[in-house]
Amino acid sequence: VGGAGNTGVSVFPMQVGKWENQTLSLRHAVWPRYKSFSDCEPDDNHLSIVTLEEAPFVIVEDIDPLTETCVRSTVPCRKFVKINNSTNEGMNVKKCCKGFCIDILKKLSRTVKFTYDLYLVTNGKHGKKVNNVWNGMIGEVVYQRAVMAVGSLTINEERSEVVDFSVPFVETGISVMVSRSNGTVSPSAFLEPFSASVWVMMFVMLLIVSAIAVFVFEYFSPVGYNRNLAKGKAPHGPSFTIGKAIWLLWGLVFNNSVPVQNPKGTTSKIMVSVWAFFAVIFLASYTANLAAFMIQEEFVDQVTGLSDKKVRSPCSRSAKALVLNELPLKGEISDCSSKPTSS
């Protein structure tokens, strides 16, 4: 070239692949990621992107049989096809991808200025954690086999812990319809502020024992009703019985202005005063908890949406009545928001 003379070209043979067992194995990728075969530095602007066929987001078509290329509205993508299921041997088949997500990918590549190698996920799944291992598109990104995933990928809490999602670009109306359940207040709600043992101690032990003690002290008191009757100081006066003692303590507990007969003995009066102080504490605790328990409605175990554990974990006993196979969904059941993203 120019003024140079006696120039020559040396040609060295180089193996780029081999044909074995009716399968072509290339040394380099079909679409090289490097500037040349001898350049070992990867191109940061060339990304490996995984996708999943799911119309209308991603549609996979065969290449043009005449030109063996993809038409203008599609982009090349490769699909791994198994040849031997026992050894998982296979080959990459060239396909053409188009759809809503592919249009977003093309627009994004032109704006950010990057190239990409698009391939279809081998197991045909969105991504789920099974035996502590991620599969599908999420697994390709988690295990760094792909830089980005493009497709109708829904956002949920479990996936958000391992990958970063883009801003949602589509919101669908996928949901679960269940019958409305009108909650009702339990008939025994007025007893729920205290446990059964507290009520038993209150009415059986404290009330009866305290009433008997007040009656006994009043009966043997020198100034009591019964002692006055015995000495003849008030022959026609009233007597203090066990029933009157129970009625007195009962009225103090419920703070009712009922006609009662107060004891005259000093010891019995002290016991009634202690019981009245206990009644104030008891009523304050009861009324404070009563409002909270009365407004609570009976719990109804119902499905709250696609993110409900009974739907996401169909093996549990609460989900035996759900027929998940008849849900009009492709792939897996995920978050109720159903927000596909490009990552």
**How many degrees, rounded to 5, is the angle at CA 95 between CA 89 and CA 96?**
160
> Using CA atoms, how far apart are residues 118 and 102, in angstroms rounded to an integer?
10
In the block, tokens 């015995």 appear at: 230
Largest CA distance in the chain: 155
Specify the DSSP class assigned to residue 267: H
Backbone angles phi, psi at 46, to 5 degrees: -110, 120
> Using CA atoms, how far apart are residues 190 and 158, in angstroms rounded to an integer?
42
> Using CA atoms, how far apart are residues 49 and 60, in angstroms rounded to an integer?
15
Element (H, E) at 78: strand 75-84
Contact 97/79 with Cβ under 8 angstroms? no
In the block, tokens 């006994």 appear at: 216
**In Å, how far are 282, 288, 319 from 139, measured between CA atoms?**
60, 53, 27
CB atoms within 10 A of CB 41: 7
154 is in an annotated binding site: yes
Tokens describing residue 184: 């009702």
Contact 125/86 with Cβ under 8 angstroms? no
Element (H, E) at 231: helix 225-231
Torsion of CA 129, 132, 137, 141, to 10 degrees: 140
227 is in an annotated binding site: no
Q: What are 46's strand-pairing partners? A: 115
**Residue spans of alpha helices (H) in 39-188:** 100-112, 136-142, 157-160
- Three-state secondary-structure class, residue 116: strand
Backbone angles phi, psi at 277, to 5 degrees: -65, -40
Residues making up the annotated binding site are 154, 159
Residue numbers belonging to the annotated binding site for L-glutamate? 154, 159
